[in-house]
Amino acid sequence: MKTGIGIDLGGTQIKGALFNLDSGEIIEKKIVPSLDGETSDYEPAFLVQVRNLIAELGGEKAHHIGVSAPGMANKEATAISYLPERLDGIEGLIWSDEIGRTVSVINDAHAALKGEVWQGSAKECRDVIFLTLGTGVGGAVICNGKLLRGSIGRAGHLGHIPIDFRKDGDICGMPGSLEDFVGNHNISERSEGKFESTHLLVTALADGDPDAESVWEESMRALAAGIAGLINIFDPEAVIIGGGISAAWFEIEFRLKRFLEDFEWRPDGHQVPVRKAELGEWAGVYGAMAFAMDEKSSK
């Protein structure tokens, strides 16, 4: 039996899993704290945590090791090249040198889509768009079976497409971005201080709160407009929605379908399915594993 290890490094937790590569099933999985901002023997503590996690999962016998992390991964898939203000020490860190084994490195949103294509709701899709709804809005695109990474690893930041050019710029300078219409990071501002989190907004929405309904409708209209635009650009087989906010799928799905009836261009009646991601918080682990296998087979 061939085995591999997928690691998903986040700001709070590190998830790791040992996979049966023949079946794609997880044999063993573990979660440890990231210890972001801490050091151990002059190394970032998260690096020590990952190294120990790989060892505990049987890294010496693993055929492939993949690491998913936030930020832009370099074209060589050896390091995260850009990630300001989080996971200090990760930028430029060559994981293979630090682990002592070949390690393939991928952006976390890219990894989530790779995971969904390998073992989730986008299985066997060759053209698919993925949006993660959480603090912000992340994304990834696979075209003709290939992950779209771009010239510097920036491709797939779908949350930064403009929805309203008259609005202020987001964290990347994009005016009226999809992220600023949907992400949790500015929900208090968007609701004029009534809701401090999307979770509280959705709870109020279920109770019939008209203010929650108004804010949520605007967010879903923006999301549908963004999805319709992306469909025109990439012509996908499916659009997959993941991230923490996707837990409110009951409040998302029917609204998206209603708005997409008006927004989506449907030549000959062709409608692109919009589905909820299946792998949840372990999508990045699956994707890191899938990416590592692809990288090894392509070399």
- The per-residue pLDDT for 285 is 97
Percentage, residues of the chain above pLDDT 70: 99
Shared-domain flag, residues 31 and 101:
yes
- Please report whether residue 118 resides in a domain: no
- The per-residue pLDDT for 299 is 59
Shared-domain flag, residues 36 and 72:
yes
Shared-domain flag, residues 65 and 171:
no
- Domain tally for the chain? 2
User: CB 23: neighbour CB atoms within 10 A?
Assistant: 10
- The per-residue pLDDT for 86 is 86
Residues of the chain whose pLDDT is less than 50? none
- Please report whether residue 119 resides in a domain: no
- The per-residue pLDDT for 296 is 66
Shared-domain flag, residues 139 and 189:
yes
- The per-residue pLDDT for 28 is 97
Shared-domain flag, residues 26 and 87:
yes
Shared-domain flag, residues 94 and 129:
no
Shared-domain flag, residues 259 and 144:
yes
- Please report whether residue 180 resides in a domain: yes
For 156-206, write each residue's pLDDT tens digit.
999 999 999 999 999 889 999 999 999 999 999 999 999 999 999 999 999
- The per-residue pLDDT for 298 is 62
Q: How many angstroms separate the CA atoms of 165 and 112, rounded? A: 29
Shared-domain flag, residues 141 and 177:
yes
Range of the domain at 154: 125-276
CATH of the domain at 176: 3.30.420.40
Shared-domain flag, residues 97 and 150:
no
- Please report whether residue 237 resides in a domain: yes
Shared-domain flag, residues 107 and 161:
no
Shared-domain flag, residues 258 and 136:
yes
- Please report whether residue 171 resides in a domain: yes
- The per-residue pLDDT for 12 is 92
- The per-residue pLDDT for 297 is 63
- The per-residue pLDDT for 41 is 83
Shared-domain flag, residues 76 and 189:
no
- The per-residue pLDDT for 84 is 85
